[in-house]
Structure 1
Amino acid sequence: MRDKPLPDVVAPDLDVLFCGINPSLMSAARGHHFARPGNRFWPALHLAGLTPRLLTPDEDRELLRYGLGVTNLADRPTRAAAELTPDELREGGAALADLVAEYRPRVLAVLGVTAWRTAFGRPRATPGRQPERIGGAVTWVVPNPSGLNAHHQLADLARCYGALRPGGGGVDV
């Protein structure tokens, strides 16, 4: 595993590996993913039926019990993802492909279309299932759960995330 300010929550053969853009300053300080108040990742997972109860950021390692994991495209914590450089995202995309090839999740879910476009050189990509696989995994781009992403409400996030689970139907986002 890479030496990172916020360690990956990953194991072999997960059902879904969620990939955020980068850690917030609060997540890095707390040592847990999606730790900012107002981030909708944890409620969306629960409403999607991916976890049997609402987990807290401090319980992020519990995701492994449910066949889920989480990582980030870029390692550097920032106040906002917009502070990242295109080079950081592209380097993160290459590292993500290696991580996915090593751990073999069934599905890779990248949380944010803009980061996906930059990291993988797909300027016209749209949310949903992608035509290419990354590291061998079926790859989806789904909405970012940040409270700053007002385009998608919690119910939308839950519907999109739920489509990723086995038998989830693979609905478009």
Structure 2
Amino acid sequence: MTIAAGGAARLLPDVVGPNLEVLFCGINPSLYSAAVGHHFARPGNRFWPALHRSGFTSRQLHPTEDRLLLGLGLGLTNLVARATARAAELSTAELTTGARRLTELVEAQRPGWVAVVGVTAYRTGFGRPRAAIGRQDEKIAGTRVWVLPNPSGLNAHYRLDALAAEFGALRLASHS
């Protein structure tokens, strides 16, 4: 995924591979994540603590360790490549295009689950205005879908414990 950092193109690569248990799909990179080249890297983002507290990882990984997820059967991507300060800066067209790209990625990789991290982005990108947090009835390219709350520190609706509980529900479902 290409972004501009200091005038030069920079890649925030997907962390994907075959036989993933869960492919986590963020909304888009923060400006900080794009600058450092790692997913969910902005200080204050609660993705890594929630992933650990939910039992997906045995310890809290640092964003620079994002590639270690592959060994755990987990992957990372984003719905939209463009880095922004806030997800609200993305257009409906960008989210819809991102949903098509995610569908193609899922078709190619065939993970057990796709976990979209951000209910509003999922609603907009996939045209599911009534979607709620949790397991979805719809599938993406035949793959089961779970929607998680946005772990950004800007999302005041979920405290870390509640966020970890939602991640934990996905972990339990992915092991059953």
Q: Shorter-normalised TM-score: what interval?
A: over 0.9
The one-letter code sitting in structure 2 at the alignment partner of 1:42 is W
Kindly state the Cα deviation for residue 72 of structure 1 after the two structures are TM-superposed.
0.4
Specify the SS of the correspondent of 1:132: strand
Instruction: Tell me the SS of whatever aligns to 2:116.
Output: strand
| Runs of 4+ residues deviating >2 angstroms | 2-5
Instruction: Give the counterpart of 2:84 among 78, 83, 89.
Output: 78
Identity %: 62
Instruction: Provide the residue aligned with 1:19 in structure 2.
Output: 25
Residue pairs, 1:21-170, within 5 angstroms? 21-165=27-171, 168-169=172-173
Cα distance in 1, alignment partners of residues 144 and 165 from structure 2:
18
**Contact 2:28–2:78 under 8 Å retained in 1:** yes
Letter in 1 for 2:159: Q
Distance 1:123 1:97 in 2: 18
What's the TM-score, normalizing by structure 1? 0.92
Q: What is the root-mean-square deviation of aligned Cα atoms in Å?
A: 1.3
State the alpha-carbon separation in 2 of the partners of residues 126 and 34 from structure 1. Answer: 22
Compare the two structures and name the one with the higher strand fraction.
2
Runs of at least 5 residues in structure 2 that lack an aligned partner in the other structure = 4-10
Q: Distance in 2 between matches of 1:160 and 1:14?
A: 19
Residues 169, 104 of structure 1: alpha-carbon distance in 2 compared, 3 angstrom cutoff: closer
Partners of 2:147 and 2:12 in 1: how far apart?
A: 22
Please, which runs of 5 or more residues in structure 1 have no aligned partner?
none
CA distance, structure 2, for counterparts of residue 151 and residue 66 of structure 1: 29
TM-score by length of 2: 0.91
Mapped to 2, the partners of 1:107 and 1:55 lie a distance apart of 21
SS of residue in 2 equivalent to 1:19? strand
